[in-house]
Structure 1
Amino acid sequence: MTPLTRDGIAARLARDIQDGWHVNLGIGMPELVANYLPDDREILLHSENGILGMGPYPEEKDIDWTLINAGKKPITTIKGASFFDHAWSFGIVRGGHLQLCVLGGYQVAPNGDLANWARDADDPLPAIGGAMDLAAGAQRIFVMMTHNDKNGGFKVVEDCTYPLTGAGIVKKVFTDLCVLDIQDRRFLVTDMIDGLSREELQARSGAKLHFAEDMAVLADRAAA
Structure 2
Amino acid sequence: MSKDIILRRTARELRPNTLVNLGIGLPTGVANYVRPESGIFFQSENGLVGLGPRAVAGFENRALTDAGGGFATAVPGAMSIDSNLSFGLIRGGHVDTTVLGGLQVDEAGHLANWIVPGKMVPGMGGAMDLVACANRVIVAMQHTARGAFKIVPKCTLPLTADRRVTLIITEMAVIEPTEAGLILRERAPGVSIEQIREATEAVLIVDGEVAEMNLAA
Q: TM-score, normalised by structure 1?
A: 0.88
Rounded to whole Å, the distance in 1 between the matches of 2:76 and 2:207 is 40
Deviation at 1:57, TM superposition (A): 1.3
Rounded to whole Å, the distance in 1 between the matches of 2:58 and 2:80 is 23
Matched, 1:104 2:101: yes
Partner in structure 1 of residue 210 of structure 2: 215
Matched, 1:34 2:11: no
> Partner amino acid for 2:177?
I
SS at match of 2:4: helix
Of residues 47, 50, 55, the one that matches 1:50 is: 47
Of residues 131, 142, 155, the one that matches 1:146 is: 142
Gaps of at least 5 residues in structure 2 are none
Q: Percent identity?
A: 38
Deviation at 1:191, TM superposition (A): 1.5
Partner in structure 2 of residue 204 of structure 1: 199
Say which is worse superposed, 210-219 or 186-195, in terms of deviation: 210-219
Of residues 91, 103, 121, the one that matches 1:94 is: 91
Count of aligned positions: 217
User: After the TM superposition, which parts of structure 1 deviate over 3 Å for at least 4 consecutive aligned residues?
Assistant: 123-127, 218-222
Of residues 7, 12, 24, the one that matches 2:9 is: 12
> Partner amino acid for 1:88?
L
Spell out, residue by residue over 1:50-108, the C-alpha distance to the aligned partner (whole angstroms, 9 max, x if none): 11111111222322111111111111111111111111111111111101111111111
Rounded to whole Å, the distance in 2 between the matches of 1:220 and 1:95 is 32
> Partner amino acid for 1:136?
A
> Partner amino acid for 1:102?
V
Matched, 1:175 2:170: yes
